[in-house]
């Protein structure tokens, strides 16, 4: 019996390598804003995430400017960049194998659906997919979770344990988690193994061959259902924490940044970017949002006016206190109806798992 039945594939960086088409089209759009001839390698971070948000995050464009940049991007991409692309070696064979062995395949991409269809037809792989889902040209359904939910609904998936997302960026992993399914990451795309593992991918394939094995490997070993349950529990735990932050009008990444600032009052934006391993433009955008919401203050460093110093406000500290209390409630509820003996037994199991893993690392 196969682990999965419904396989949802991302497109860019997962099935195809769109480096040339996307980066040159982004470069074309930026040129229209006076940002001339950005190196293509620098622009590969645009591969995967929603386009509008990327222009805002990486180049500080406001919403209106980002809409114009997207329009300018499509001006080149729709006729030229769309075909500056290639299917990864082995993908066509893998799709054919999965299709022949009864798997239901679909595309779940943040790229506009009309472009996805054209790319699939151009590379003669459209016939392998039962359905194709993407965003709309008017800006609707750009979030990965929205696309995945649409695919699950369209495929009439009842048991989400039978469905898996396959993608190369953390957006794919997070989107899958928000939609209630697991995600297999592909390390040969543009996110890399580290990004995917940190995001919580169920597994990461470094090659197309490994991807096929992860999808098709039968659940004969007793460890497989146990590990599936283990990952599922922590995905649901993450979803519960996400729900707590969302109810307070703030997302998980913003809450993480706010908490880090609280524990390092007076930290500079530059140091914050280093600590959280995020780009300075990304930090600047989120810090600006937190400041606008009244959760932090940004001040110029008296000793170095090139640096912004960040501190939490009383409102920010109150939000953190309330949220952390709600997080604790989630953890307590997670062990509802457990006896003290069961808690102690579970703790001993985790200690043994920890010791085994630490011994493995020491080798």
| pLDDT above 90: residue 220 | no
Helix (H, G, I), strand (E, B) or coil at 75: helix
Residue that the structure tokens 């995050």 belong to = 57
Determine the pLDDT at residue 247.
Answer: 92
Where residue 292 falls among pLDDT bands split at 50, 70, 90?
A: very high
Q: What is the pLDDT of residues 315-358, one digit of tens each?
A: 999 999 999 999 999 999 999 999 999 999 999 999 999 999 99
Q: Which top CATH class is 19-83?
A: mainly alpha
How is the beta sheet containing 6-9 ordered, strand by strand? Answer: 131-135, 104-112, 6-9, 163-167, 182-186, 203-205
Residues whose CB is less than 8 angstroms from the CB of residue 319 and which lie 6 or more positions away in sequence, other chains included:
248, 250, 258, 295
d(CA 171, CA 173): 5
Q: 303 and 252 in contact (C-beta within 8 Å)?
A: no
d(CA 50, CA 73): 13
Q: Name beta bridge partners: 107.
A: 9, 132
Query: Which CATH superfamily hosts domain 6-15+85-220?
Result: HAD superfamily/HAD-like (3.40.50.1000)
The candidate with the shortest Cα–Cα distance to 254, out of 290, 212, 308, is 290
φ, ψ for residue 101 (rounded to 5)?
Answer: -100, 20
d(CA 154, CA 108): 11
Considering the domain delimited by 221-363, tell me its CATH architecture: Orthogonal Bundle (1.10)
Residue 73: alpha-carbon gap to chain centroid: 23
Q: How many CB atoms are closer than 10 A to CB 259?
A: 16
φ, ψ for residue 19 (rounded to 5)?
Answer: -50, -55
Provide the annotated active-site residues.
10
Domain boundaries, the chain: 6-15+85-220, 19-83, 221-363
Q: 186 and 211 in contact (C-beta within 8 Å)?
A: yes
Q: Name beta bridge partners: 104.
A: 6
Q: 6 and 163 in contact (C-beta within 8 Å)?
A: yes
Determine the pLDDT at residue 1.
Answer: 44
Strand pairing class (308-312; 182-186): unpaired
Q: What is the pLDDT of residues 92-126, one digit of tens each?
A: 999 999 999 999 999 999 899 999 999 999 999 99
Q: What is the mean pLDDT of residues 132-160?
A: 93
Q: 258 and 316 in contact (C-beta within 8 Å)?
A: yes
């Amino acid at each position: 019996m196969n682990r999965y039945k419904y396989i949802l594939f991302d497109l860019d960086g997962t099935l195809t390598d769109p480096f040339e088409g996307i980066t040159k089209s982004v470069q074309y759009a930026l040129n229209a804003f006076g940002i001339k001839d950005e190196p293509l390698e620098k622009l590969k971070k645009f591969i995967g995430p929603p386009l509008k948000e990327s222009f805002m995050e990486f180049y500080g464009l406001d919403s209106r400017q980002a809409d114009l940049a997207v329009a300018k991007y499509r001006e080149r991409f729709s006729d030229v960049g769309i075909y500056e692309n290639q299917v990864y070696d082995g993908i066509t064979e893998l799709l054919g194998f999965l299709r022949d062995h009864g798997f239901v395949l679909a595309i779940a991409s943040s790229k506009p659906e009309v472009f996805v269809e054209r790319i699939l037809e151009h590379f003669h792989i459209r016939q392998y997919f039962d359905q194709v889902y993407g965003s709309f040209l008017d800006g609707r359904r750009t979030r990965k979770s929205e696309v995945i939910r649409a695919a699950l609904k369209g495929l009439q998936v009842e048991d989400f344990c039978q469905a898996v997302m396959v993608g190369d960026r953390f957006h794919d992993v997070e989107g899958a988690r928000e939609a209630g399914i697991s995600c297999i990451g592909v390390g040969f795309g543009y996110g890399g193994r580290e990004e995917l593992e940190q995001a919580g991918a169920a597994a990461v394939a470094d090659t197309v061959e490994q991807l096929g094995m992860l999808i098709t490997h039968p659940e004969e070993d007793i460890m497989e259902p146990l590990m599936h349950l283990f990952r599922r529990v922590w995905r649901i735990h993450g979803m519960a924490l996400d729900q707590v932050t969302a109810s307070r009008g703030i997302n998980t990444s913003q809450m993480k940044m706010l908490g880090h600032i609280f524990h390092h009052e007076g930290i500079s934006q530059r140091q914050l970017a280093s600590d959280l391993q995020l780009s300075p433009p990304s930090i600047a955008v989120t810090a600006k949002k937190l400041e606008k919401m009244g959760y932090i203050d940004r001040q110029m460093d008296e000793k170095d006016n090139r640096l912004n110093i960040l501190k939490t406000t009383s409102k920010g500290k109150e939000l953190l206190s309330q949220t952390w209390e709600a997080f604790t409630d989630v953890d307590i509820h997670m062990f509802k109806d457990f006896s003290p003996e069961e808690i102690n037994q579970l703790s001993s199991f985790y200690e043994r798992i920890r010791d085994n893993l630490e011994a493995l690392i020491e080798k």
